[in-house]
Chain A
């Protein structure tokens, strides 16, 4: 057949008059052709050979079937729920995906098979959704993940601890070894520390940092010696991690050293006559190497360096130390700082200390101080407060926001901070009480805006946040019929439509889940 094709490619005009052959029974048929030119013969033989090969197609062999997927342990969600989630996986209303993947898991349901490919594709593009997605993939999704290297995250994040945990530690990938060490820290922190000590010198910097971070689980004074040595590591990331962990051990030598240094910086003086008190701040001109080593990650060598020393040193000291040392309440302590040029640095440090030590009873007072000061100077760092809100338990976070929003009404319009950044830090869904309060505030605020035809991006963004976050029992209230004729900003109309659709989608989905009656709202 090769010679036949070669003849066709080169051309019969270039070949000497030789017999052409396909090497198939078609050649015998060609013998029966009437007087035909070589070209005609070649063409007819090519056509007949095509039919011959089509009719005699030989199927492939040697194909191995993979081991089939295991039987599912959970039922699939309803087609209605699947349709909504399918849309979200196509990035329509995808903001709702974390909420309803979690609801699927709570309801002990999984995604239907025809959503597995879109789900794996979405999870590959969006790392942050993987943790919520994996429990909904079922056995089939786990099975499917093995066929595409881009989906290896399914197995990595879902790997059951190997019976031979030590083999996993010795031979796994870095991600697997970190997971192994986290698990071991929860069961036997001393053993985990020993394992890490044995391999410490061989590990590269990034591995050291990640493995050391596992000490956050089961942290105890027994870890102090290892962490103190890690403070001398060549890599800054390792030193920062070590210092951060040591500050969580109030009895550690690092905390003792920082407390002693902080004691030299702060002094408290009460004036009983004037019924006033002042916290004096004395900062050194320079700090020694030992002090610098206890504060890894220091960047600035310029005028702000003193502020950094103050902040990092104070942040390492438990807040209750000052209350006990000066024998005063937190209210008196924060009041004494008001006139200091270092007010904001001190409050920030104390906030950091309170958050680290889970001293939630003081957070609201400290936040209040911070906001009061921000109002005085007409400037508020919304990103910073968002970071604080993210670290609070939900109830305290919501209370803080209510308090802030109450204060906010006294702020001048031109310096009004973006409050929606803090709202977006709240875990979803919001509590019922907070949802009801927020929706009432929105309505009040909206009426004013619409009456004055003002454009307030915070309000619209807040409305969108509410649509995504209000408690499911408040969704009816969130379907607000705004009287917007002629008053609404042209961009706002589009946003309101989107908001309504988000609320309706959430409402429909919760009704579907309720119908299944597996999980209470």
Chain B
């Protein structure tokens, strides 16, 4: 959860009670005062993991918050249970007041929307529909031109063609399509088999366009998926109203952050211990800004998620934490074999053909490094293997495994696994990423 490596190092230095005074916790919060160039007041609300520090650092979480969390994780006995001091009580009260105001504001907004004359909304929707239909028509023509001329002809063309088409899709109220077209820039002329990879992505775009043109024939949930992929968005309140609410003990298995031209994305994967359902929390942060929520990984908590309506619900948001947060120590609720996992992937694709990221939790697997080919794999007890992403080194995984089986959580993209974390001897380790 640290914003960068320097913060990790700085947090570790403060992860010692020598730098702290007035440490304490109760059912609601965890707190302490840290002596830096000034005395900083550090507070954490336990139910939501909202973090607050009085230091002037722009990093979030700052080194003081990270230090306090480290102490709580590694020397919990150093933090006595006691009544919170005034500066903690006041902060909790402020947070409660802010949350109340937010709820009231949202309720008011919904009431206003309900008052909005039907006609205005209908006109807006109709206008958008027309723009989208025109955009889809243009997309189809563009796609067909590409294959008519042959993908080989793109070898001599600049990647500007993708940005130009993406811009047209944005104008046509199809930001989802624009995003998919922009992702082709990373493939065009960039890898040896780029024409095949390009054809794959263009084919999926064509399928999406086809689905939109026959949307009324699709299952209601799949219609939601198609609209979402094209670029319709749902406010979180709409998701809460229409999405599936699911309570479970949620294991927060790991995160992947990626740079995009406009900033960073963060994917946090969760799995329900009882339901074994997977969930994906997505966040976006513009360049230079931190993610709005800090989501600790390697922990589990009782709570409720709400899923975006979908034929194969995956993306979710946190509706409520209803219990304490604890470390993941028990066996992961994963697949016993790779064959079993591949069957779940096939079943998911049958419901949602455009799904391209899957949570993969495998029990009792062993990391294998093939020194001859310099490639990494995960091998199950039946002897089958899935490759790990070639650009990564997995020495930490191999060191902790020692050739013994462990439970692994990873993201599968149809070609490679990107490890999120793994459980060995009752301890969950977050997978390290190459710098």
* Interface residues, chain A, with chain B CB atoms under 8 Å away: 5, 8-14, 37, 39-40, 42-51, 54-57, 59-69, 79-80, 83, 86-87, 90, 92, 113-114, 116-117, 120, 140-141, 143-144, 147-148, 504, 508
Contact = CB atoms under 8 A, between A and B. Distances in A.
Contact of A66 (B148, B150, B338, B368): B368
A508 B203 contact: no
B383 A63 contact: yes
B9 A8 contact: no
A48 B349 CA distance: 11
Nearest to A48: B207
A399 B366 CA distance: 58
A54 B199 contact: no
B399 A61 contact: no
Contacts of B206: 40, 43-44, 46-47
Nearest to B404: A68
A14 B399 contact: no
Contacts of A10: 150, 152
Contacts of B153: 11
B204 interface: yes
B207 A44 contact: yes
A47 B399 contact: no
A63 B152 contact: no
A63 B368 contact: yes
A141 B379 CA distance: 22
Interface string B1-23: 00000000100110110100000
B9 A87 contact: yes
Contact of A147 (B15, B18, B371, B383): B371
Contacts of B385: 59-61, 63
Nearest to A511: B18
B143 to A, nearest CB: 6
A361 B399 CA distance: 52
The 9 nearest A-B residue pairs measured at CB: A11-B150, A46-B203, A47-B203, A68-B403, A43-B206, A47-B207, A39-B144, A69-B402, A59-B384
Contact of B203 (A48, A64, A504): A48
A46 B9 CA distance: 48
Given A43-B206, A117-B396, A60 B403 contact: no
A56 B346 CA distance: 7
B49 interface: no
B216 interface: no
Q: Which of A8, A13, A92, A148 has the most CB of B within 10 A?
A: A8
Interface string B143-168: 11101111111000000000000000
Given A39-B144, A60-B385, 7 more contacts: A8-B150, A42-B147, A46-B200, A49-B203, A63-B385, A117-B399, A143-B403
A414 B370 CA distance: 64
A43 B368 contact: no
Contacts of B75: 80
B319 interface: no
Interface in B249-269: none
B383 A114 contact: no
A61 B150 contact: no
A39 B142 CA distance: 11
B264 to A, nearest CB: 24
Given A40-B144, A117-B396, A59 B150 contact: no
A148 B369 CA distance: 10
A90 B153 CA distance: 49
Nearest to B195: A9
A63 B200 CA distance: 29
A419 B395 CA distance: 44
Contacts of B379: 63, 65
B225 to A, nearest CB: 14
A113 B356 CA distance: 34
B18 A69 contact: no
A504 B14 CA distance: 12
Contacts of A8: 147, 150-151, 195, 199
A102 B429 CA distance: 28
B336 to A, nearest CB: 14
B74 interface: yes
A496 to B, nearest CB: 15
Interface in B200-215: 200, 202-207, 210
B284 to A, nearest CB: 26
B345 interface: yes
Contact of A144 (B353, B366, B399): B399
A80 to B, nearest CB: 7
Given A68-B402, A117-B396, A57 B342 contact: yes
6 contacts: A43-B203, A44-B203, A46-B202, A49-B203, A80-B75, A147-B398
Nearest to A54: B414
Q: Which of B145, B147, B396 has the most CB of A within 10 A?
A: B147
A243 B75 CA distance: 60
A411 B150 CA distance: 86
Given A65-B368, A143-B402, A37 B384 contact: no
Contacts of A5: 195-196, 199
A124 to B, nearest CB: 12
Nearest to B424: A113
Interface string B369-404: 111000001010001111100000001101110111
B282 interface: no
Contacts of A114: 396, 399-400, 429
Given A39-B147, A43-B143, A50 B203 contact: yes
A116 B15 CA distance: 22
B399 A9 contact: no
A292 B349 CA distance: 86
A504 B17 CA distance: 13
Contact of A140 (B203, B345, B353, B399): B399
A54 B343 CA distance: 11
Contacts of A67: 403
Contact of A57 (B144, B345, B403): B345
Contacts of B429: 114
Contact of B338 (A45, A59, A83, A92): A59
Contacts of B353: 48, 51
A44 to B, nearest CB: 5
B398 A54 contact: no
B350 interface: yes
A184 B344 CA distance: 62
Contacts of A55: 345-346, 349-350
B383 A54 contact: no
Contacts of B345: 54-55, 57
Nearest to A139: B402
Contacts of B16: 80, 508
Nearest to A121: B395
B413 to A, nearest CB: 10
Nearest to B412: A57
A62 B383 CA distance: 7
A54 B9 CA distance: 41
A69 B387 CA distance: 22
Q: Which of A50, A68, A113, A504 has the most CB of B within 10 A?
A: A50
A45 B395 CA distance: 41
B140 interface: yes
B106 interface: no
B342 A40 contact: no
A57 B414 CA distance: 8
Contacts of B395: 116-117, 120, 144, 148
B349 A54 contact: yes
Contacts of A148: 395
A87 B12 contact: yes
Contacts of B349: 51, 54-55
Contacts of B238: none
A465 to B, nearest CB: 22
B138 to A, nearest CB: 14
Contacts of A48: 203, 207, 353
A507 B62 CA distance: 26
A13 B339 contact: no
B236 to A, nearest CB: 30
